[in-house]
Amino acid sequence: MAAIFQGVGAAAPLSSSPSNSFDSNKSVFSPPRSFSVVRSDGIVNLNPKGRSAQRLISNAVATKADSPAASSSSKPGHELLLFEALQEGLEEEMERDPRVCVMGEDVGHYGGSYKVTKGLAKRFGDLRVLDTPIAENSFTGMGIGAAMTGLRPVIEGMNMGFLLLAFNQISNNCGMLHYTSGGQFTIPVVIRGPGGVGRQLGAEHSQRLESYFQSIPGIQMVACSTPYNAKGLMKAAIRSENPVILFEHVLLYNLKERIPDEDYICNLEEAEMVRPGEHVTILTYSRMRYHVMQAAKTLVNKGYDPEVIDIRSLKPFDLHTIGNSVKKTHRVLIVEECMRTGGIGASLTAAITENFNDYLDAPIMCLSSQDVPTPYAGTLEEVTVVQPAQIVTAVEQLCQ
């Protein structure tokens, strides 16, 4: 295997490698039957086949942040689905830096379980796009070792739940080797894959592993939610010298958005202001961003002005953006798909309480998934996940 990685020619530094610091300021596939193509700035009904989902008001009074976008045909750039944006970012980085390689199950000529790596094996060859056996612990360890020698591997978990089999490698090696080697090694590895509650995928395929990985020292975690930030976070994670886990939601791969033609990256430690507001700060990420924005339409109709922030960086938190919002609204609602016990919301609640407690006029509220295995039955699955109507009710209670 060492010969394989030497063959990639990766250990030598690039003479024109871009800086790893960030300024704070095309494939086609047939989607699964349960997916629907929607725009990332629109109202998204992510409930299974519309079963018993409460339909919220869709023609709410628009504010400056809710104004309809201009016709997509008049905007510069090009339209991509989220999975295509991830693929484009990965392909651009592989073209830019010969040290970047991909490994995982079916990532080669099959193109990955959700086609994020489609066409890359044909373009870059089997050594840089390496199909692996069904052995997550083994190929994750192989990727970490490759990173120690100077490569920049992107490790795909066919499903995030499968990466529990590689937890030892991610925890004891990926997160700690830079420290335990006394700084002799950096581990510039990206671990990515689909996760979250899908549509009747069963408990084992509906894992939210953010809570598992957040306690590992030395690892950064980000969650993409739009094609724009999916591409930007993918490129930034590959260029980072730190190990980064990129969480992708299985129900967001077919979101469509127009993204710039020019090269760009997103800050790995920066939250995104989705909707400015005055009355309450709503912190969310990944799929729940769209449940929150759907609820925001109803809240505006009821006279509330919520501020919505997609935290994006799950570790570390962007406490600058979050803190400025808390100081303005004095009320916080956290909406997540992660489990309530020990989840991202629990950590975020602790961070806000420790740093901004004096600015709060009401206790922090957190809406999370129920602490139960995700049911297979669609109606039961829906009940375990936060729905827009619950968000509306929570904001009304906070603002009383």
User: Which amino acids are annotated catalytic?
Assistant: 136, 205
Distance CA 42, CA 47 (A): 15
Fill in the amino acid letter for 373.
P
Cα atoms in the Cβ-side hemisphere of radius 13 Å centred on 106: 12
Helix (H) or strand (E) holding 381: helix 378-384
Residue with tokens 């990727």: 143
Asked whether the beta carbons of 218 and 183 are under 8 A apart, the reply is: no
Fill in the amino acid letter for 316.
P
| Phi, psi of 280, rounded to the nearest 5 degrees | -155, 145
Residues 69, 70, 76, 81, CA torsion sign = positive
Asked whether the beta carbons of 288 and 338 are under 8 A apart, the reply is: no
- The string of DSSP codes covering 19-46 is PS---------PPPTT---EETTS----
Cα atoms in the Cβ-side hemisphere of radius 13 Å centred on 208: 30
Nearest to 83 by CA among 38, 44, 126, 26: 26
The string over 301-320, giving b where at least 16 C-beta atoms fall within 10 Å of a residue's C-beta and e elsewhere, is eeebbbbbbbbbbbbebbbe
Distance CA 172, CA 285 (A): 27
Q: How many residues does the chain have?
A: 400
| Phi, psi of 18, rounded to the nearest 5 degrees | -70, 160
